[in-house]
Amino acid sequence: MLCIHSVSNFGKYTSKLKSSTLAVKAHCPPLGLESLKVSDDQLESSSYLSVGVGPHRGRLNIQSGLEDDDEYDGAWCAGVEDQEQWLQVNALRPTLFTGVILQGRNSIWSLNWVRTYKVQFSNDSSVWEPCMNGTEEAVFVGNEDLETPVLALFPEPSVAQYIRINPQTWFSNGTICLRAEVLGCPVPDPDNPHFSETEHGSSDDLDFRHHNYNEMRKLMKSVNDKCPDITRIYTIGRSYTGLKLYVMEISDNPGKHELGEPEFRYVAGMHGNEVLGRELLLNLMQYICREYKRGNQRIVQLVKDTRIHLLPSMNPDGYEQAYEKGSELSGWALGRYSFEGIDMNHNFPDLNTIMWDAQEMAMGKRRVSNHYIPMPEYYTSTEALVAPETRAVISWMQDIPFVLSANLHGGELVVTYPFDCTRDWIPRQDTPTADNDFFRWLATVYASTNLVMANPERRICHYEDFHQHNNIINGGDWHTVPGSMNDFSYLHTNCFEITVELSCDKFPHASELPVEWENNKESLLLYMEQVHRGIKGVIRDKDTRVGIANAVIKVDGLDHDIRSAVDGDYWRLLNPGEYKITVWAEGYFPRIRHCSVGSEPQATICDFTLTKTSQDRLKQILASGGKIPRDNQVRIRALRMRKLRASTKILNRRREQQQRQNRVKRK
């Protein structure tokens, strides 16, 4: 039975409702309390304890600040403890309400949740009718803890404009506090001014839905089938449970590093329940394939000039957990960690501390390596708590000379840049790299073109107001993250990497995906194009003209060097300006050039030819006490990388043996 609460203009389309809305009532999406589609003005309550727990905080999965009772607390809490309290949502238009999802208060200091509740509906916010279960008023089961979302579907879906959640019982040692989401489908209403407000979707014909592991593989294969000349699918390893980590390569010559062509990567799904990045990368590979075939010159140029690598799911085990529960019921943490319970954003070697400790102990800063810092010995052992997914990504980073990357997360709207780890693990402190100005540029490129971040009227997600930072922030100035992938990428490889927090909602409903694609499409493309800023070139032996690998490229005034790739080519990301560049390699005389970087995203060619030193001259310099630049870091790095791969193989064999034994036991 369909409940339609009588109001004069409803009669015009009641018969149409019965045929059209009943078919979709079980699939109604969330109104958008969690995603902020529902504004603060649409939320009211009977009372509230303080401003920090007002009705605007009654949103599913909203996170509190460090202190309870501040301006940004973790729920709506009623100011009076009785059964007459309510949280009300104005849907702005007639809506088929089908259910409610409830959650307790987010807090580390107190325990508050609603155990049972009733629901009422209204068309004018004056006359209210209860949600019925047959002849009795329905009472719904709520929560028994702070974080687990609990869904209640209504026995009779009801059409109204307003809905109230009316708590009846609550945790005995707490008070009335809740976070909520409401499920509902908009209903056509020609006489309502909000009827003309259509949902903004996307004009791009892409596969806008959530894809589990098998569906992701099928989609990637379909893209490869449509664009075999510019795409290649490969794997970099497996998850703990054996799921492959698939990468889509997009290039005009897939499978091969081309001399002088920079390598770019996007990584998503490090936290398995932060799923928007996964879907955006699947959208991106579809979009590039389609637009390339259509002859879109921007896309054609990007594909010809760049070798692009897209890893949509770094943590497929965690994703499958979250996917099984669904977008609203997976909560804030389910699927975040690896199968072994490892947070992979803290699982890379902490090279920051190694570098900073060496700087404090050294007589001079120049004696301390500022790049290609090798992994610590403990990290490469089989006993180290390193996820197989992390090991696979490290090997990937070693194998390909990436220049630029972004790590896609969710749960906030902000772009962060290294360093993520603070000195001495101070909880929060601005900790810039030598390339701070360029990192700020990279972060600004993404944030300023993201349609939500760039909106000055948007509501903050949880408790941090990133508008004051123009929606970018140094990672350490937000919260310290020892062992982050961003910091490791910068200190162990040539690659610059930032983190993009894509949305307030970690797991947006499928209906939100077209809008999210439009919010991020330009940002994703423009950020990739930044790989062509700065200088690039090839470092060759003067006599043989062969490229020199592992030559050091030093920019005067920037205490962060990079190295040439296997073929001798290099890329140094830089802001516009004039630079003094010094290049040296073991066994060669150093060479200095002045290179100019323009404002256009087109790297300046700055090639070098190096002359070998004679062995007699080398011995003479050393005998007289002189110093030739030497660096054992590359050798140490290579040895430890081999150890890491060897220990990974041992661990994989152990896991396979254990799995075989488990299968035998089950038989």
Coil, strand or helix at 265: strand
Provide the 10 A C-beta neighbour count for residue 596: 11
Provide the 10 A C-beta neighbour count for residue 262: 25
Q: Which helix (H) or strand (E) holds 155?
A: strand 150-170
Mark residue 267 as left, alpha or beta (left: phi above 0; alpha: psi -120 to 50; beta: remaining). Answer: beta
CA angle 405, 529, 283 (to 5 degrees): 70
Mode of pairing for the β-strands spanning 244-250 and 231-238: antiparallel
Dihedral angle of Cα 442, 447, 448, 450, to the nearest 10 degrees: 130
Q: Which residues on neighbouring strands pair with residue 540, listed in sequence order?
A: 547, 609
Of 501, 512, 516, 529, the catalytic one is 501
| Cβ-proximal residues to 268 (8 Å cutoff; 6+ apart), any chain | 277, 278, 280, 281, 311, 312, 313, 314, 407, 408
Q: Which two tokens stand for residue 360?
A: 């404090």
Q: Which two tokens stand for residue 166?
A: 């009316």
| Cβ-proximal residues to 433 (8 Å cutoff; 6+ apart), any chain | 417, 418, 419, 439, 490, 560
C-alpha 486: how far from chain center:
12
* 122/141 Cα distance (integer angstroms): 22
CA angle 123, 129, 132 (to 5 degrees): 130
* 255/568 Cα distance (integer angstroms): 19
* 343/482 Cα distance (integer angstroms): 11
Q: Which two tokens stand for residue 2?
A: 């369909």
Longest alpha-carbon distance in the chain: 102
Q: Which helix (H) or strand (E) holds 393?
A: helix 388-399
* 358/354 Cα distance (integer angstroms): 6
Q: Is the dihedral of CA 68, 74, 76, 80 positive or negative?
A: negative
Evaluate whether 60 touches 77 at the Cβ level (below 8 Å): no
Burial of 349 (C-beta count, 10 Å sphere; 0-12/13-18/19+):
buried
* 480/517 Cα distance (integer angstroms): 30
**Is 501 tagged catalytic?**
yes
Question: Residue by residue, what is the 3-state secondary structure of 473-542?
Answer: EEHHHHCCCCCCHHHHHHHHCCCEEEEEEEECCCCCCHHHHHHHHHHHHHHHHHHHHHHHCCEEEEEEEC
CA dist 269 to 28, 218, 240, 249, Å? 26, 18, 15, 17
CA angle 38, 500, 321 (to 5 degrees): 75
Q: Which residues on neighbouring strands pair with residue 231, listed in sequence order?
A: 250
Mode of pairing for the β-strands spanning 412-417 and 472-474: parallel
| Cβ-proximal residues to 177 (8 Å cutoff; 6+ apart), any chain | 53, 75, 76, 77, 78, 104, 105, 112, 113, 114, 170
Q: Which helix (H) or strand (E) holds 475?
A: helix 475-478
Q: Is the dihedral of CA 477, 483, 485, 488 positive or negative?
A: positive
For the chain, how many residues are written?
Answer: 667
* Positions marked active-site: 501
